[in-house]
């Protein structure tokens, strides 16, 4: 096993890490398109990362914008249990003293325990972007690190564009590292800023550079060639003791190295105890938490923490996993807080149905005729356009209905009908919809109407207005439509095309999906809505 040890020296305590995890979600990650954290969001994310047991949290650049200034100010009253809060900035500007540089002053005044500053490694950037001399750039690095070392507990140096700079001018790239090292930088972080270096180049360059430096080194990889995680692991294998990345791989352009893949790879695959077993089990929760605050949909197919990471669909796979999960799973899902999912579709075999039934606590014997009936129904419905992978509520109802012992909770109704109107009135800025629900019970007929922004919203409101009378105390008033998706299945038929509607509903405690298919989008929506309500009532009765 490859174990790397990193001694972090502090005036108050000496800390020892096998590999330090350095999170830059709040700085580099916040530069991603469509990511915009508020100050309160950043504080909540910081607490969550601290709970996860990460070593360093890069909170932002206090000299660049008012939001980060406010964040660092607010964090002075937040007590982190484990993580060290880091402020980010740049080396001093050319031609001035470090003590006169406002950026460096803002780092010292931020209240953070440590600072990471970046400097130019690539001579091309020094001459073209900074428009200064190579010697002046070395002085900027050395003097900036020295200035911060006298005033802050920890100082790390990010060697920006290191790998590209090394390829262009190896001697000068190393000189920039030595300038930071001479000033006392605790860790020299090698940055693949453009994200285009491949793992074999990372390994070869590190092997050449490592004998020429004495300070510990780290890795900061971007994902433009989709190898940021691979580059990070390659660097650790060669002795990197600090790994930078972001939760869910957020970052500018194509993102940064994804800590949700790096952490379990280090811990489980490489035997490096970067966080505890208990905290590793919180990884999926942390991943989804950050997605929620960023207002981004969670990537289902993300390794380790995605909903589909341990989802099995093919009948052969499911049968093998039932015998031994290692046949098609590279780790135990629960290690990272995830779970195994058995999908049911037209590719399913009997093993899929049996395992799914067991997961839902539905008793089906492998020799029972219901098993074949369910499998046949699923294949028939999926051929018609239904999809149950994202509609497990509808799937559970389908399996129950096949048991011949299940009675629908709607059996109290002799009939339940609907009618929907949509009109655009001159006085209204947008069209409005009205849905009328008619229910008949024992010969008595009742009409209830509901208004909505659109026909589906109106149907939803009307349905939930009438049902509590017949199902009191079941919490139907808490049910909300959380997501609504329409997929055209037969596009060649134009506006007469068959459509599939997937609905996600929730009651504040649980979420569930249901599905409907029809040539009429309202009818497809109605099917999914009715299943959603019936599933809620079914859950309440258990």
450/119: higher pLDDT: 119
C-alpha 293/C-alpha 37 separation (Å) is 7
C-alpha 216/C-alpha 162 separation (Å) is 15
- What pTM was estimated for this model as a whole? 0.71
Residue the block writes with tokens 């930071």: 180
54 in Cβ contact with 89 (< 8 Å): no
Q: What percent of the chain has pLDDT over 70?
A: 92
250 in Cβ contact with 30 (< 8 Å): yes
C-alpha 59/C-alpha 72 separation (Å) is 7
C-alpha 303/C-alpha 336 separation (Å) is 11
The 3-class SS string of 357-404 reads HHHCCCCCCCCCHHHHHHHHHHHHHHHHCCCCCCCHHHHHHHHHHCCC
87/494: higher pLDDT: 87
| pLDDT for the residue 443 | 80
Mean pLDDT confidence for 452-462:
88
Identify the sign of the CA torsion 345, 350, 353, 356: negative
Q: Find out if CATH 3.20.20.70 is the number for domain 6-275.
A: yes
Look at residue 302 and tell me whether its pLDDT is greater than 50: yes
| pLDDT for the residue 2 | 35
Look at residue 292 and tell me whether its pLDDT is greater than 90: no
Residue 532 CB neighbours (<10 A): 28
157 in Cβ contact with 189 (< 8 Å): yes
With vertex at residue 538, the alpha carbon angle to CA 534 and CA 542, rounded to the nearest 5 degrees, is 170
| pLDDT for the residue 384 | 82
Look at residue 419 and tell me whether its pLDDT is greater than 80: yes
Hey, what's the torsion of the CAs at 316, 321, 323, 324, to 10 degrees?
Answer: 140
- Which residues 6+ apart lie within 8 Å of 91 measured at CB? 117, 118, 119, 120, 140, 141, 144
| pLDDT for the residue 127 | 96
Task: Pick the most confident of 58-67, 474-483, 488-497.
Answer: 58-67
With vertex at residue 302, the alpha carbon angle to CA 299 and CA 308, rounded to the nearest 5 degrees, is 85
| pLDDT for the residue 541 | 66
Look at residue 14 and tell me whether its pLDDT is greater than 50: no
| pLDDT for the residue 488 | 86
10/173: higher pLDDT: 173
C-alpha 39/C-alpha 197 separation (Å) is 34
C-alpha 179/C-alpha 229 separation (Å) is 28
User: pLDDT by residue (tens digit) across 231-279?
Assistant: 999 999 999 999 999 999 999 999 999 999 999 999 999 999 999 999 9
Q: What percent of the chain has pLDDT over 90?
A: 56
Q: Are strands 14-17 and 6-9 parallel, antiparallel or unpaired?
A: antiparallel
Q: Are strands 511-518 and 499-506 parallel, antiparallel or unpaired?
A: antiparallel
How confident is residue 333, by pLDDT bands cut at 50, 70 and 90?
Answer: very high
Task: Pick the most confident of 190-194, 392-396, 410-414, 489-493.
Answer: 190-194
499 in Cβ contact with 528 (< 8 Å): no
How confident is residue 137, by pLDDT bands cut at 50, 70 and 90?
Answer: very high
219 in Cβ contact with 235 (< 8 Å): yes
Q: How close are the terminal C-alpha atoms of the chain, in Å?
A: 49
How confident is residue 4, by pLDDT bands cut at 50, 70 and 90?
Answer: very low
Look at residue 12 and tell me whether its pLDDT is greater than 60: no
| pLDDT for the residue 344 | 67
How confident is residue 537, by pLDDT bands cut at 50, 70 and 90?
Answer: confident
How confident is residue 30, by pLDDT bands cut at 50, 70 and 90?
Answer: very high
C-alpha 477/C-alpha 468 separation (Å) is 8
User: pLDDT by residue (tens digit) across 345-393?
Assistant: 555 567 677 777 777 777 777 777 778 788 788 778 877 888 776 788 8
C-alpha 17/C-alpha 83 separation (Å) is 12
C-alpha 487/C-alpha 276 separation (Å) is 43
| pLDDT for the residue 32 | 94
Q: CATH 3.20.20.70 region(s) of the chain?
A: 6-275
How confident is residue 8, by pLDDT bands cut at 50, 70 and 90?
Answer: very low
Q: CATH 3.30.160.270 region(s) of the chain?
A: 409-541
| pLDDT for the residue 96 | 96
Among the listed residues 247, 192, 308, the one whose alpha carbon sits nearest the alpha carbon of residue 50? 247
C-alpha 526/C-alpha 456 separation (Å) is 8
User: pLDDT by residue (tens digit) across 170-229?
Assistant: 999 999 999 999 999 999 999 999 999 999 999 999 999 999 999 999 999 999 999 999
Helix (H) or strand (E) holding 485: strand 480-488
Mean pLDDT confidence for 393-419:
81
How confident is residue 476, by pLDDT bands cut at 50, 70 and 90?
Answer: confident
How confident is residue 496, by pLDDT bands cut at 50, 70 and 90?
Answer: low
Mean pLDDT confidence for 297-325:
84
- Summary mean pLDDT of the chain: 88
| Span 409-541 CATH architecture | 2-Layer Sandwich (3.30)
């Amino acid at each position: 096993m490859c174990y790397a040890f990193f001694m972090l020296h502090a005036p108050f305590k000496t800390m020892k890490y096998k590999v330090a995890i350095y999170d830059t979600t709040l700085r580099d990650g916040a530069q991603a398109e469509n990511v915009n954290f508020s100050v309160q969001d950043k504080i909540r994310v910081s607490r969550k990362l601290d709970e996860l047991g990460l070593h360093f949290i890069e909170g932002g650049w206090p000299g660049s914008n008012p939001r980060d200034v406010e964040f660092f100010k607010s964090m002075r009253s937040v007590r982190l249990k484990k993580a060290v809060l880091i402020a980010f900035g740049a080396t001093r500007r050319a031609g001035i003293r470090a003590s006169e540089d406002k950026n460096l002053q803002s780092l010292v005044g931020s209240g953070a325990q440590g600072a990471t500053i970046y400097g130019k490694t690539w001579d091309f950037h020094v001459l073209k972007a900074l428009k200064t001399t190579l010697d002046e750039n070395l002085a900027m690095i050395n003097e900036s690190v020295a200035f911060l070392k006298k005033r802050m507990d920890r100082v790390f140096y990010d060697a920006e564009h290191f790998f590209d700079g090394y390829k262009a001018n190896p001697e000068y790239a190393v000189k920039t590292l030595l300038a930071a090292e001479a000033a006392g930088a605790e860790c020299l972080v090698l940055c693949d800023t453009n994200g285009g270096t491949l793992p074999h180049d990372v390994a070869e360059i590190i092997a050449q550079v490592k004998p020429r430096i004495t300070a510990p080194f780290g890795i900061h990889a971007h994902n433009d060639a989709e190898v940021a995680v691979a580059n990070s692991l390659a660097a650790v294998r060669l002795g990197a003791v600090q790994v930078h990345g972001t939760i869910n791989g957020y970052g500018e352009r194509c993102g940064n190295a994804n800590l949700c893949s790096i952490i379990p790879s280090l811990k489980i695959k490489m035997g490096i105890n970067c966080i505890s077993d208990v905290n590793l089990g919180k990884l999926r929760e942390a991943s989804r938490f950050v997605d929620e605050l960023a207002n981004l949909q969670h990537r289902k197919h993300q390794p380790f923490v995605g909903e589909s990471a341990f989802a099995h669909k093919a009948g052969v796979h499911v049968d093998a996993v039932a015998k031994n999960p290692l046949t098609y799973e590279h780790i135990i899902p629960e290690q990272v807080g995830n779970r195994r999912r058995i999908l049911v579709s037209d590719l399913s075999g009997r093993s899929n149905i049996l395992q799914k039934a067991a997961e839902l606590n539905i008793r089906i014997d492998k020799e029972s005729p219901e098993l074949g009936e369910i499998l046949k129904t699923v294949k028939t419905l999926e051929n018609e356009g239904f999809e149950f992978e994202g509609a497990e509520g509808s799937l559970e109802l389908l399996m129950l209905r096949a048991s011949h012992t299940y009675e629908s909770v709607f059996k109290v109704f002799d009939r339940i009908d609907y009618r929907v109107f949509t009109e655009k009135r001159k006085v209204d800025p947008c069209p409005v919809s009205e849905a009328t629900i008619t229910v008949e019970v024992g010969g008595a007929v009742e009409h209830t109407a509901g208004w909505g922004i659109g026909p589906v919203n109106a149907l939803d409101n009307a349905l939930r207005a009438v049902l509590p009378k017949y199902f009191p105390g079941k919490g139907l008033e808490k049910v909300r439509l959380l997501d609504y998706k329409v997929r055209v299945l037969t596009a060649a038929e134009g506006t007469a095309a068959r459509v599939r509607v997937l609905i996600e509903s929730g009651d504040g405690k649980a979420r569930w999906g249901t599905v409907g298919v029809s040539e009429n989008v309202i009818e497809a929506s109605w099917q999914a809505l009715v299943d959603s309500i019936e599933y809620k009532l079914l859950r309440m009765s258990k």
